[in-house]
Structure 1
Amino acid sequence: MINVLVADDEIPAVEELAFLLGRDERIGTIYRASSGTQALRALEAEPVDAVFLDIHMPVVSGLEIARAIARSGQQPAVVFVTADEDCALEAFELAAVDYLLKPVRAERLAKSVSRICELREGRDAPEMITVDQGGTTRMIRRDDISYVQAQGDYARLHTAEASYLIRVPLSDLEQQWADAGFIRIHRSYLVSLNHVGNIKLAATGPSVRVAGTELPISRRHLPAVREKLEATRVRPQL
């Protein structure tokens, strides 16, 4: 069970997030704070495993609390909850586990809890990718990317929430991300095997379904896809 602290200077926001967290069976005790000062006191007094911080709180901001956590040697996981994306880069520089935008959706919150669980199990922190969207710099997790689409000298990264254009050729990403489970299926597509729903390997019209989108497998890349699937097949022990 994960004991969490929810800190926001707007009490309705605290209660709403606490309500959503309370519906998750992985969550234990939920502590509440309506200011940054209260949050710091709670962190000193209570056994907190994770803290959900509003960034823009008066007197002591969420970013300042995260810095205090880093300095203190305490290791509760930090998730920022905010109405804007302006501080995303700084948030991840502070080793935030996640960055939630208000209003928080239940399914997105559940993903944050899963990420906290991963850290508690000792898994390595995922690689973060810096992207620009509408003049705002964002950080996204590489394991959130379901597939990548070539667009000239650029590549479009597709996640469940949005897509992001980066100035990196698809061929470069193919080499850099091979060990992370990405495989080239077409001159225009690179897919994450972790997001694959099903694959059709018929001689006519081979394709792969990724995050609800069906993508073609080219004749040129079909042997490599077959080989990759064969390597991951579970076999009985002799």
Structure 2
Amino acid sequence: MLRVLAVDDEKPLLEELLYLLRSDPRVLSAEGASDATEALRRISRALESGPDGADVIDVVFLDIHMAGLTGLDIARLLAGFARPPLIVFVTAHEGFAVQAFDLKAVDYVLKPVRPERLAEAVRRACAQSGLPEERPAVAAPGAGSAPVVPVARPASAAIPGGPPAPVAPVPAAASPVAASPAAARGADRAPEQIAVELGGVTRFVAIADIAYVEAQGDYARLHTDEGSHLVRIPLSTLEERWAARGFVRIHRRHLVALARIDELRLDAGTTTVRVGAAELQVSRRHTRELRDLLMRQAMG
């Protein structure tokens, strides 16, 4: 399995790249560096530790345009070592492909990064490293030992393993965010989909298909049964827009569709919820409110 370093000076894009890399079962570990200096320090430490060292790096996914040294500069420096890591360039610019392949790059991936295109870059890196190129089957996560409270669902709620059902609206008075009458009227007219950008193409994701939302700075990651999408909308904005659609804040980092919660887990003073395969922490300030909402949902 590959040990990867991703380098990009735009934090949201670096987080997106790391998220996709860590989702690939052929990647053992993926760490990030936000500038050339940090990247060179980590790579130097990896080269000093040798091929069997704890800090070894097999592949560097490298942006080209960065402050200070560019990705091409880093690749030229690495070319002077006896056993440098493989290089995959990840860039928004098409014009450097010839220089990149002159530097023996494994691949040249254009931004915005498409998951299937990145998977192909990982496959090529595996092939050049002599590792299996196909994705191994991923076993289902095991059940935890902590006590859990199964969440009773009304008949209209989604069935685990089945297709997602529309989210049942939560009355404004029960929502953690007190919506004004104007906001409530606006929610009734709000679109049923949200636009996301993927590979230069605008696609539309049904809000009813979204299980939970994760904050990533000024961005938000929408998690569905089919995957995830990054949108440039703060979590607080989605919280306000989707309160009447049954989305509730459970943590400063997470917004969850109430009808998609499968379990409420209590363990040594910590509260978590299971949403599909994901286990999300509930902050203390939201715990009681969430339990009340789940009880109301169970009672129909």
TM-score, reference length from structure 1: 0.50
SS at match of 2:17: helix
Aligned to 2:9: 9
Q: CA deviation at 1:29?
A: 1.4
- Residue 115 (structure 2) aligns with: 106
- Give the distance between the partners of 2:58 and 2:92, measured in 1 at CA: 24
2:15 maps to amino acid: E
Please tell me the residue identity of whatever aligns with 1:2: L
Are residue 96 (structure 1) and residue 105 (structure 2) matched?
Answer: yes
Partner deviation per Cα, 1:53-82 (whole Å, 9 max, x = no partner): 000011111001101111122331100011
Provide the residue aligned with 1:27 in structure 2: 27
Structure 2 residue 40 is the aligned partner of structure 1 residue 69: no
SS of residue paired to 1:72? coil
d(CA) in 2 for partners of 1:93 and 1:6?
A: 21
CA RMSD of superposed structures (Å): 1.8
Q: Matched residue of 2:79: which SS?
A: helix
SS at match of 1:110: helix
Tell me, in whole angstroms, the C-alpha distance in 1 between the residues paired with 2:38 and 2:63.
13
Deviations 1:166-221 (A, max 9, x none): xxxxxxxxxxxxxxxxxxxxxxxxxxxxxxxxxxxxxxxxxxxxxxxxxxxxxxxx
Q: Aligned to 1:4, what secondary structure does the other structure show?
A: strand
**Whose relative contact order is higher, 1 or 2, with alpha carbons under 8 Å and at least 6 apart?**
2
Question: Does structure 1 residue 43 correspond to structure 2 residue 43?
Answer: yes
Offset, 1:32 = 0.8
**Pick from 78, 81, 84: which aligns with 2:93?**
84
What percent of counterpart residues are identical? 50
Q: Which amino acid aligns with 2:106?
A: V
Aligned equivalents of 1:121 and 1:75: distance in 2?
A: 15
Render the CA deviation track for 1:134-186: whole Å, top value 9, x for unaligned. Answer: xxxxxxxxxxxxxxxxxxxxxxxxxxx9xxxxxxxxxxxxxxxxxxxxxxxxx
CA distance in 2, matches of 1:17, 1:110: 11
Give structure 2 stretches of 5+ with no counterpart. Answer: 46-54, 132-198, 200-300
In 2, the alpha carbon distance for the partners of 1:95 and 1:68 equals 13
Query: Which residue of structure 2 aligns with residue 152 of structure 1?
Result: none
Q: Whole-Å Cα distance in 2 between the matches of residues 89 and 47 of structure 1?
A: 28
Which one has the largest radius of gyration? 2
Count of residue pairs brought into register by the alignment: 124
What stretches of structure 1 of length at least 5 have no aligned partner? 123-160, 162-238
CA distance in 2, matches of 1:77, 1:35: 18
- Matched residue, 2:130: 121
Q: Which amino acid aligns with 2:87?
A: V
Q: Does the residue aligned with 2:18 lie in a helix, a strand or coil?
A: helix
> Counterpart in 1 of 2:276?
none
Quote the Cα distance in structure 1 between the aligned partners of 2:126 and 2:33.
23
| Pairs within 5 Å for 1:138-149 | none
Instruction: Measure, in 2, the Cα distance between the counterparts of 1:58 and 1:51.
Output: 18
Q: Distance in 2 between matches of 1:30 and 1:23?
A: 10
Question: Which amino acid is 2:118 matched to?
Answer: L
